């Protein structure tokens, strides 16, 4: 996980509509960048739906919410449509940004060890500096906690 006070790594990724986003696109406002393992799984769905439900509350505080996973643009589009999501989802199929933000880690599940995305949330300020980071995210509670 990247440390608070670190300059956020730049990125160039497509969203669920194929539109390209970069870190510079969010300069001048705060960016809540959350990394999640997989579209349409239980925890990831709860997290994305909670962020969508609170999108206007985040925007009222000058914060844009963006999710990132390894899923494809097409997968993100299906996820958005199936769940009625209103937030931007970025596709990082090559893991470039996932690795730059240090969220590709060894995970243990049911005694099996594998590599994967560790659910992590970063808050980036107007100048591109990380001002909050959390890698102990509880999917269903993350949006409400970050709003506070």
Give 57-63 contacts, CB < 8 A, sequence gap 24+: 57/147, 58/32, 58/146, 58/147, 61/30, 61/147, 62/29, 62/30, 63/29, 63/30, 63/31, 63/32, 63/123
- Known catalytic residues are 44
Neighbours of 145 (CB within 10 A): 12
The CA radius of gyration of the chain, in Å to the nearest whole number, is 14
Tokens matching residue 37: 């393992």
The β-bridge relationship of strands 63-69 and 88-91 is parallel
Tokens matching residue 99: 């690795």
């Amino acid at each position: 996980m990247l440390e608070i006070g670190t300059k956020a790594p730049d990125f160039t990724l497509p969203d669920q509509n194929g539109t390209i986003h970069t870190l510079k696109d969010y300069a001048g406002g705060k960016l809540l960048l959350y990394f999640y393992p997989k579209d349409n799984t239980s925890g990831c769905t709860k997290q994305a739906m909670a962020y969508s439900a609170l999108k206007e509350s985040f925007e009222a505080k000058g914060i844009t919410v963006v999710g990132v996973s390894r899923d494809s643009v097409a997968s993100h589009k299906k996820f958005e449509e199936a769940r009625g999501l209103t937030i931007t989802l970025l596709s990082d199929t090559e893991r470039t940004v996932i690795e730059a933000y240090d969220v590709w880690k060894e995970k243990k599940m049911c005694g099996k060890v594998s590599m994967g995305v560790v659910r992590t949330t970063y808050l980036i300020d107007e100048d591109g500096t990380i001002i909050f980071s959390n890698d102990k995210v509880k999917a269903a509670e993350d949006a409400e906690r970050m709003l506070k």
